[in-house]
């Protein structure tokens, strides 16, 4: 069997796909991971066979304009209208990305002749290519509590946006509304109701559960000689997405959060490996119990941690859940809001609204995560739920059946 994996040119979209792609290789099948040139090096570092297709689009220019920041453009704009505008901008970004890679990806598929196309939820070049080749398309979710189907009008309808339909019609293809299957790495506790698990509800019909494997890329452990730290260790990470979408104001908030957590009798690990040098400098002098760390795979960084504070990014939430670490999510981005709110329902974490954040609330909630054993017990239950899901290798026969 030949499996063509394809992803949007961001590491956060690539990394969740790697364990399944490797499972297919280990089972004796042929695999290619296709993306635009800027992500090619990251693919190569996973050890997977990489294919560069199409061209990169200028995402940074859109970020600089604030197209993807969930903020009101002016006082007259409601927060609901601001979010609707941002979702529209996100959809247009992904439609443009599809146009930038679909024709090249289809040409590659004609020559290589895959039996199935596996794509991440916003890489619409995947279903376009699968439709053109007449092979099954499989969407691999990356663990978000509630999927945003950007290609659909209003997110919950069966009607695709004109921009999505146009991707198919301009190529003489029938629009693909739903894939042949959804690969879902969320444990039961991190799913919304089944009707909302993948929107629209009709798309839930062929969901293949899969264990979330916390692959965060190659790297080294931050502690060459691991062991229990002298006092509780808390990881504070602001990720890359939040920084790029929200700008320098995020660093100022980040500094307040770090200082608040450092007010406890803990050791604080602050991730700065993904931040630009000038943004790191903006953090200024840090308390003595704060240790900045460069880039390390998050699952290795969390091995000695008793809690984590983050912005609700899906990879971070799912990795911490797989490591049984209690979590505090602080965010205003919709992905993070969904994830942090659902995490709170499991008892394995807490959440705070980023807007109007009071550092005292941060300190109080981190203290609760560390001092109340109920959070640790719930985090371990969530990890057990993850480990009870089928391993990626167990999904390979299901993919073969689709073919």
Which residue shows structure tokens 């942090």?
Answer: 340
Q: Closest Cα to residue 191, out of 143, 258, 237?
A: 143
Per-residue pLDDT tens for 220-229? 887 755 666 7
Answer yes or no: do 382 and 395 share one domain: no
Whether residue 141 has pLDDT greater than 70: yes
Model pLDDT, residue 275: 60
Q: What is the CA radius of gyration of the chain?
A: 21
Alpha helix ranges (H) inside 247-282: 249-262, 277-282
Question: How far apart are alpha carbons 299 and 297 in whole angstroms?
Answer: 6
Answer yes or no: do 184 and 293 share one domain: no
Structural domain includes residue 220: no
Structural domain includes residue 217: no
Whether residue 200 has pLDDT greater than 60: no
Per-residue pLDDT tens for 332-342? 888 888 899 99
Q: Give whole-number Cα distances, 202 to 16, 217, 227, 257, 316, in Å.
A: 24, 34, 48, 41, 29
Q: Print the domain residue range for 290.
A: 233-387
Answer yes or no: do 267 and 204 share one domain: no
Answer yes or no: do 168 and 237 share one domain: no
What does pTM read for this prediction? 0.92
Model pLDDT, residue 202: 47
Model pLDDT, residue 197: 47
Question: How far apart are alpha carbons 316 and 216 in whole angstroms?
Answer: 9
- State how many domains the chain has: 2
CA-CA-CA-CA dihedral for 182, 187, 192, 194, to nearest 10: 50
Structural domain includes residue 254: yes
Task: Provide mean pLDDT across the span 85-93.
Answer: 85
Answer yes or no: do 179 and 267 share one domain: no
Task: Provide mean pLDDT across the span 5-12.
Answer: 94
């Amino acid at each position: 069997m030949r499996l063509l994996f394809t992803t949007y040119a961001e590491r956060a979209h690539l990394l969740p796909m790697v364990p399944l792609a490797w499972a297919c290789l280990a089972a004796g099948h042929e695999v290619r991971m296709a993306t635009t040139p800027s992500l090619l090096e990251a693919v190569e570092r996973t050890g997977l066979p990489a294919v560069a297709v199409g061209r990169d689009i200028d995402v940074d220019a859109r970020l600089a304009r604030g197209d993807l920041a969930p903020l009101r453009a002016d006082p007259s704009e409601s927060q609901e209208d601001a979010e609707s505008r941002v979702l529209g901008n996100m959809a247009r970004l992904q439609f443009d990305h599809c146009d930038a890679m679909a024709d090249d990806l289809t040409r590659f598929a004609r020559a290589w002749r895959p039996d199935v196309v596996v794509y991440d939820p916003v890489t619409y070049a995947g279903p376009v290519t699968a439709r053109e080749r007449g092979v099954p398309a499989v969407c691999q979710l990356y663990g978000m509590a509630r999927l945003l189907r950007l290609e659909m009008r209003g997110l919950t309808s069966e009607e695709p946006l004109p921009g999505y339909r146009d991707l198919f019609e301009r190529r003489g293809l029938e629009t693909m509304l739903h894939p042949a299957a959804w690969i879902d790495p969320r444990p039961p506790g991190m799913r919304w109701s089944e009707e909302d698990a993948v929107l629209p509800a009709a798309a839930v019909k062929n969901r293949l559960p899969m264990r979330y494997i916390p692959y965060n890329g190659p790297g080294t452990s931050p502690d060459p000689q691991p062991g229990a730290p002298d006092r509780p260790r808390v990881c504070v990470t602001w990720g890359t997405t939040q920084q790029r979408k929200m700008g320098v104001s995020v660093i100022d908030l980040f500094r307040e959060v770090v200082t608040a957590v450092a007010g406890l009798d803990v050791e604080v690990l602050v991730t700065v490996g993904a931040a630009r040098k000038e943004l790191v400098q903006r953090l200024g002098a840090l308390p003595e119990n704060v240790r900045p760390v460069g880039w390390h795979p998050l699952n290795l960084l969390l091995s000695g941690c008793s809690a984590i504070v983050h912005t609700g990014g899906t990879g971070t939430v799912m990795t911490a859940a797989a490591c049984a670490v209690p979590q505090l999510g602080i965010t205003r981005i919709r992905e993070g809001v969904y994830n942090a709110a659902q995490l709170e329902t499991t008892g394995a974490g807490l959440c705070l609204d980023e807007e109007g954040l009071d550092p005292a609330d941060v300190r109080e909630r981190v203290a609760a995560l560390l001092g109340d054993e109920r959070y640790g017990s719930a985090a371990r239950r969530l990890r057990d739920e993850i480990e009870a899901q089928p391993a990626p290798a167990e999904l390979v026969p299901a993919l073969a059946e689709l073919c």
